Amino acid sequence: MKKQKTLAGSAQFSGIALHTGVRATLRITPAPVNTGILFCRVDLPERPLIPGSARCVVDVQRGTTIAISKTAIVYTVEHILSALHAWEIDNCIVEMDGLEPPIADGSSLPYYNMIAEAGGAVEQESEVKSFTPPHPILVEGGHTQIAMFPDSDKLTISCITSFKGCPVDPQFFEYELNTETYGAEIAPGRTFVNFADLKQLLAMGLVKGGSLDAAAIIHDGAIICKEKLRFQNEIVRHKILDMIGDLKLTGMRLTGRIIAIRPGHPKNVELAKKLIELAAEQA
């Protein structure tokens, strides 16, 4: 029987938030069994706790946003959730002093390393909630298709991306979720944006904290970033990073094989919700 896990200690990370452009601090602390992942807005008087659950997702455009009220809201939770998923953290409190976590370099590597600095994961007394879908699942819409099959005792993701104007296109990567390999193969993958989309976001008053320190830009057949690409297929690795984060919103340890074609937050979260529904039916 696998046991639930929490953090061995606490750690924090500070930096600039992507959309608001303000300095933000995120702190992670251990939590008792059956707590799940809770985001605490310490800047608000009531210090509300927002569950890191697909049931609390209120927006999936340009990132995954969770909320329990108009004020108790947290943007772009997918990177920290991805790192927590990789470390098999089932229970912890994520304290934030604003709407957004720091964007850092646009990857989840700073969060993965922060968890390592906290001592990594430690087992707790209660049994973990695991789930494998009883039959194949398909979610699709637009250019996206995601299928999940119950034929693996690990969580394996095979992903294909395609972006107009990207010099390396299409991109493919297959990854089996593992704490150690995640830090080397997935966590360093940085977020990216098409130049046309970037202009639109700027016009909307967003990405105030954006820079080449925090993202790669696809423009006119090239990828523009401050440093060279960390992987030739860095874009598809970041898509897998996001999916791992969004699937953490199920609150379960998942096993199965996922085949994803041009995935994004809308269908990632739809898959997470379907998995929660299936688990409830089987309970």
Bond from prior residue into 170 cis (ω within 30 degrees of 0): yes
Q: What is the spatial distance between Cα 40 and Cα 32, in angstroms, rounded to a whole number?
A: 15
DSSP string for the chain = -PEEEEESS-EEEEEEBTTT--EEEEEEEE--TT--EEEEETTSTT--EEE-SGGGEEE-SSS-EEESSSSSEE---HHHHHHHHHTT--BEEEEESSSS-B-TTSSSHHHHHHHHHTT-EEEEEEEP-EE--SS-EEEEETTEEEEEES--SSEEEEEEE--TT-SS-SEEEEEE--HHHHHHHTTTPPPEEEHHHHHHHHHTT--TT--TTT-EEEETTEEE-SS--SSTTHHHHHHHHHHHHHHGGG-SEE-EEEEEES--HHHHHHHHHHHHHHHHHH-
Active-site entry in 19, 79, 238, 265: 265
Concerning whether 265 is annotated as a catalytic residue, the answer is yes
Beta bridge partners of 120: none
Positions annotated as catalytic residues are 265
